[in-house]
Chains A and B, each alone.
Chain A
Amino acid sequence: MTAPPSTRSVVATILAKDLRVELRTLQSVPSMVLFSTTIYVIFRFGLDRTRLDGALAAGVLLVTILFAALLAINRLFVAEREQGGFEAIRLAPVDGTALFFAKAGALLVYLLALELVALPVFWLFFLDGGSGLLPLLPVLVLLDLALAVTGALISPIATNSTARDLIGPLILLPLLVPPMIAASAAGQRLLEAGGPSYDRYGTWLGVLGLYDLIFLLVGWAVFDYLIED
């Protein structure tokens, strides 16, 4: 019998597979980009404003990212369920949590790819200056990690239920309230009309980082049970 592979190599294998499939099928990222651009257009005409700042700017940006993330989260484990990925993992001599880390990694890559397009479009549509965007990047990365980790944890539960599209958001959205509060609190100060304010910036980054850490540990502890029959 050969030695079982390390968890790190299994994570890399599953992540590489997911990214290869996404590059071939373009199922998640293009729909997320299209969705967020459409939402910006709707907000621009719905609010009848060409310039946003403060809480409203942060709200439009972050809520759009949140709902775009839901599109990818709903599809995250569909191939594993429909094409036998869950069973393949359970038959192999590997730690099931490798699947959790790989899926969180894939979702993080999708979100970063989304923001490569969505952030410049947001700036073009709504902002006067871009000075708040650079300090906003760490906030977005930590929020993306929160979305990725929580999404990878909840998505298999939703995927295994008959009401996947309903169950996912119902469980996920309440869990995402804390990081959304932290990200919008940091974001609204960074997107103020008069230029970015760094009041309690570190605190909110700390809150986001702590949330990410807690849910990484929760996922590591419980994910193997979630993919049992």
Chain B
Amino acid sequence: MPEAASEPALRAASLSVAYGERWALREVDIVLDRGRTLAVIGPNGAGKSTLLRVLATLLRPTEGSVAVLGCELPREAWRLRGRIGYLGHSALLYRDLSASENLRFHARLFGLPGEGTERIRELLEVVGLAHRAGTRVGEMSAGMVQRLAVCRALLHEPELLVLDEPLANLDPAAAESVAPLFGPAPGRTRLLVTHDVEAALAGSDRVLALRRDGGVAFARDSATIAPEEARAIYADAPVAVRR
């Protein structure tokens, strides 16, 4: 295998993504070592979710180069399959299947031993959904679906977590029970999109701040960033998005 453990978890150079004529992300340069956490912040429409979709191998970059866990994208995306835990805006859960049926479906796709029965039971217990294991996803509240989606993303204990606002739709009590599941852990690299600037600075090693036009405002170690500086990126005036 050409992949070296010394390779950074994430390396992007001049990464840009366009949807037709519109540039969603422009010239992003970022390096993140393995086992570290990168928080991505920025106003709505800054390209945070687009960046995460590229890094999760779900979207091809338009320009630039990007490597995740030593695999060049999109050429070696197949080598990353099964190694990423992705939580995006869509829960990736079937509405007509129950919570446990959905998780069992994903456990089978990931080849978990014993269809992941023990892991599923444990995760549902932690997020407080054990008593709703037989409830169809279509009959659940948005908060329950979000908790279940977190379970789905963590089910196979991935090396890299790519989480887009993982605490969205959760009340404080639910957030408190779910957050430790995707907290820092040995060997786990995390990419987190959040609008909570204080949490981003406190819970990450590096911060990538994107401007409204998809460009990079700054990308630095969290310890060097003042909360006011991070908050200032939400105040920038809208700019033209055409390149």
Instruction: Identify the A interface with B (CB < 8 A).
Output: 1-5, 9-10, 13, 17, 20-21, 24-25, 79, 83-85, 87-94, 228-229
Contacts and interface: CB of A to CB of B under 8 A. Distances in A.
Given A9-B108, A13-B105, A13-B108, A4 B58 contact: no
Contacts, number: 82
Contacts of B93: 83-84
Contacts of A228: 60
Nearest to A25: B96
B83 interface: yes
Interface in B97-114: 97, 101, 105-106, 108-113
B56 interface: yes
A83 B110 contact: no
B106 A88 contact: yes
B81 interface: yes
A157 B240 CA distance: 33
Given A85-B94, A88-B92, A90-B81, A4 B111 contact: yes
A118 to B, nearest CB: 25
Contacts of A79: 94-96
Contacts of B56: 91
Interface of B: 56-60, 81-84, 86, 88, 90-97, 101, 105-106, 108-113, 156
B111 A5 contact: yes
B166 to A, nearest CB: 16
Contact of B113 (A2, A21, A24, A229): A2
B163 to A, nearest CB: 13
B15 to A, nearest CB: 15
Contacts of B91: 84
Contacts of A9: 108, 111
- Do most interface residues of chain A lie in helix, strand or loop, or is the interface mixed? helix
A78 to B, nearest CB: 11
B110 A92 contact: yes
Nearest to A88: B92
B59 A229 contact: yes
A85 B102 CA distance: 11
Contacts of A5: 108-111
B81 A93 contact: yes
Contacts of B95: 79, 83
Nearest to B95: A83
B155 to A, nearest CB: 10
Contacts of B83: 1
Contacts of A90: 57-58, 81
A229 B108 contact: no
A87 B82 contact: no
Query: Nearest 7 CB-CB pairs, A to B?
Result: A93-B82, A84-B92, A5-B111, A92-B109, A13-B108, A93-B81, A84-B90
Nearest to A27: B96
Contacts of B58: 87, 90-91, 229
A3 B97 contact: no
Contacts of B110: 2, 5, 92-93
Contact of A88 (B101, B109, B113): B109
Given A13-B105, A17-B101, 16 more contacts: A5-B111, A13-B108, A17-B94, A20-B101, A79-B96, A84-B90, A84-B92, A88-B92, A88-B109, A90-B58, A92-B109, A93-B110, A93-B111, A94-B81, A229-B58, A229-B59
Contacts of A10: 108-109
14 contacts: A2-B110, A2-B111, A5-B110, A13-B109, A21-B94, A83-B92, A83-B93, A83-B95, A87-B86, A90-B81, A92-B109, A93-B81, A94-B109, A229-B60
A100 to B, nearest CB: 15
A124 B82 CA distance: 53
